[in-house]
Amino acid sequence: MEHKHIYDAKGNQLCCTQEEKINAVANKELKKEHKEIVCCATDEPSHDEHDDDGHDNRGGNGSTYKIFLPAIISCFLLVFALALDHLIPQTWFTDLVRLIWYLGAYAPVGFPVIKDAIGAISKGEVFSEFLLMSIATIGAFAIGEFPEGVAVMLFYSIGEVFQTLAVKRAKANIKSLLDQRPDEVTILENNQARKIKAETAKIGDIIQLKSGEKLGLDGELLSDTASFNTAALTGESKPDTKIKGETVLAGMINLNTVSQVKVTTAYTDSKLSKILEMVQNATAQKAPTELFIRKFAKIYTPIVVLLAVLITALPYLFVDNYDFSQWLYRALVFLVISCPCALVISIPLGYFGGIGAASKNGILFKGSNFLDIIANIQNVVMDKTGTMTEGVFKVQDVVLKSDQNKDEILQMVNALESQSTHPVATAIHQYVGKVDSNIKLENVEEISGHGLKAMVNGKDMLVGNFKLMDKYDIAHDVDFGSIVYTIIAIVYDRKFIGYLTIADSIKEDAQLAVDKLKALGVKTTMLSGDKSNVVQFVAKTLGITNAYGDLLPEDKVSKVKEIKAKNETVAFVGDGVNDAPVVALSDVGIAMGGLGSDATIETADVVIQDDMPSKIPMAINIGKQTKKIVWQNISLAFGVKAIVLILGAGGLATMWEAVFADVGVALLAILNAVRIQRMKF
């Protein structure tokens, strides 16, 4: 119920449905700049809820009381009037004076709602909650029930205020991300420091980052080492030490000495900017439950208005002592009870709360619909390298035939692998060291999924997996099955001369992730392009049910299709470019956002910012808890309203019970919805 806080360019209040207002405020909360948004009831843009100086008009710095002020004035006048009616009766407090007094108590809280009802009607939204409350309270005045008319609108107004505060709090986790992008950065030009707007920094600029400062753009660390707080991106506040040449991201906070960073990405293309855009757009992707309630409210509201008319008129045909005022009062009670506020407010807020709770933990959902889907996931299919393992390879052993010069062969392998960006090439380079510039390379070719081929010092050389050897019919005498590490075969002058073994360590929380998935009743499968026995070894170590290796990207797609053919829901977790097709195919695609490729992150429905596998079951649990809270609110709202509606139609419920059924239930639903923000996952 945001109608008191949505304004047009001239400062006039706008009218929207409750759900659209929540989404409007959600989008505005997520924007650092004072950008305009369009509300459903007008084509004019609404202002942000901040003054030009950046102060929040709704709260903070002693201004919170302003949104309570109309309710405070109304409450004071109502209490005073009730005292004059019942405790200290006065002869002057009758008739016209009494009516004017109660109208004065009604005006601060009632007129804004009536204005919104009129605005909605003018835009074709006839049956809104504003109209229900307006009819009910004006009707109460018409039959002389002044105190109840004021009380209903007063409690409705108080409910709106608390719901406004609840909406603001539910978005606090996401809004805090905006504070991680500094407006200005310090760049070095000719060894002179100069402050500029962050969005004006260019690729190639050198940023000087002091201790405690936040990085404004993605870049490459030029200093030897630096430690950063990465909580803005990962939800984890433990320091992350970077070395020269490594990537550092916007939003990271420098923890120690002055560091220098070379800008590699434009301000609007930084990973944090993309995170904010993804979360902001998440409100537009509605969950099925949310869409149902929205459609239901549009049908439900006109029906209850018709029923209220029938409650007033039909008894005239069947009741001997028909009293119009009595039956009108029952109809008004019925209208107040039937107001769908608890549903249209608490359900979107519940989903947004789930998105906020996930963001706080470094998990980004691209829409509330994925919270619903992930809550019912039956299978989690995962990649190995970079997902369940660190993705950082190290050479374990070098096994060469006895007649080979080890140093010479390694130098040639290192020179050839320097032409590749594959993690295996990086591991070999780190093991061997500097590339020998005297080695002559010709006709270098990278064969996807196999390895490298070239002329090295005038002779053919192959470096890759054993599928590469089979491709060129190279004989060998190695028992692959007995080796659980990744094997890199070496062929020189069309002869197999040995191999390297390379290992990738399992992530420290991978075991916890698998255990929690099993506890949730989720089946686990590992798919990888790595050697089958390596994949089986990792899967057996972690307790993953099914594992398949030696897979090309199209093979992964086929495996996922096999699972989906059983009518089972699938979430696929990956990080590489080759994972993008299968991420898109799955019911929920989950990308590892730290090491993950941009293509996979763009394709995914959920992004895990810190690459921790344990966030997979956490994401599922957040989805389950969000769905649970939403359905609790639906059951609470329908249950209480059904009971009080029946009592109201039968004359056994007064306006006071109606207020509880409307505002009271709405507040209980709101409190339940924001509860997810405090949960530990």
Instruction: Check whether residue 223 and residue 263 sit in a common domain.
Output: yes
Q: State the pLDDT confidence band at 285, using cuts at 50, 70 and 90.
A: low
Does 373 fall in a domain? no
Instruction: Check whether residue 167 and residue 199 sit in a common domain.
Output: no
- What is the pLDDT averaged over residues 110-123? 87
Kindly report the number of other CB atoms within 10 A of residue 380's CB atom: 27
CA dist 623 and 358 (Å) reads 9
- Of the chain, the percentage scoring pLDDT greater than 90 comes to 21
Q: State the pLDDT confidence band at 60, using cuts at 50, 70 and 90.
A: very low
Instruction: Check whether residue 14 and residue 134 sit in a common domain.
Output: yes
Domain count, the chain: 3
Does 78 fall in a domain? yes
pLDDT of residue 51: 37
Residue 642 has pLDDT above 60, yes or no: yes
Instruction: Check whether residue 255 and residue 338 sit in a common domain.
Output: no
CA dist 601 and 594 (Å) reads 10
Say what angle helices 510-519 and 615-649 make with each other, to 10 degrees.
Answer: 30
Residue 50 tokens read as 């901040």
Instruction: Check whether residue 124 and residue 208 sit in a common domain.
Output: no
- What is the pLDDT averaged over residues 371-378? 92
β-strand partners of 548: 527
Does 227 fall in a domain? yes
Does 622 fall in a domain? no
CATH at residue 434: 3.40.1110.10
pLDDT of residue 6: 40
- What is the pLDDT averaged over residues 626-652? 83
Q: Are 286 and 369 in contact (CB under 8 A)?
A: yes
Instruction: Check whether residue 35 and residue 108 sit in a common domain.
Output: yes
CA dist 590 and 605 (Å) reads 6
pLDDT of residue 172: 57
Q: Are 606 and 365 in contact (CB under 8 A)?
A: yes
Question: What single-letter amino acid sits at 507?
Answer: K
Q: Which of 269, 292, 313 is a domain's end point?
A: 269
Domain interval for residue 138: 3-173+281-352+627-678
Q: Are 180 and 272 in contact (CB under 8 A)?
A: yes
Instruction: Check whether residue 309 and residue 421 sit in a common domain.
Output: no
- Strand segments, DSSP code E, in 375-433 are 379-382, 389-400
Q: DSSP string of 325-366? A: HHHHHHHHHHHHHH-THHHHHHHHHHHHHHHHHHHHTTEEES
Does 518 fall in a domain? no
Question: What single-letter amino acid sits at 131?
Answer: L
- What is the pLDDT averaged over residues 545-568? 88
Q: Are 609 and 593 in contact (CB under 8 A)?
A: yes
Q: How far apart are the first and last CA of the chain?
A: 30
Instruction: Check whether residue 56 and residue 159 sit in a common domain.
Output: yes
pLDDT of residue 160: 75
Higher pLDDT among residues 313 and 678, named by residue: 313
3-state secondary structure of 324: helix
Instruction: Check whether residue 423 and residue 286 sit in a common domain.
Output: no
pLDDT of residue 123: 83
**Residues 462-518: pLDDT tens digits?**
998 888 888 888 888 887 767 778 889 999 988 999 999 888 888 989 999 999 999
pLDDT of residue 294: 65
Higher pLDDT among residues 377 and 341, named by residue: 377
pTM: 0.65
Most confident of 176-190, 238-252, 334-348: 238-252
pLDDT of residue 382: 92
pLDDT of residue 462: 93
CA dist 348 and 287 (Å) reads 9
Instruction: Check whether residue 437 and residue 311 sit in a common domain.
Output: no
pLDDT of residue 52: 35
**Residues 562-592: pLDDT tens digits?**
998 998 899 999 875 566 778 778 899 888 8
Instruction: Check whether residue 290 and residue 186 sit in a common domain.
Output: no
Active site residue 183: no
Instruction: Check whether residue 85 and residue 107 sit in a common domain.
Output: yes
* Active-site hit among 116, 383, 579, 611: 383
Q: State the pLDDT confidence band at 644, using cuts at 50, 70 and 90.
A: confident
CA dist 304 and 343 (Å) reads 15
Q: State the pLDDT confidence band at 53, using cuts at 50, 70 and 90.
A: very low
Residue 560 has pLDDT above 80, yes or no: yes
The helix (run of H) or strand (run of E) holding residue 19 is helix 18-29
3-state secondary structure of 26: helix
- Of the chain, the percentage scoring pLDDT greater than 70 comes to 79
**Residues 391-406: pLDDT tens digits?**
778 898 899 988 888 8
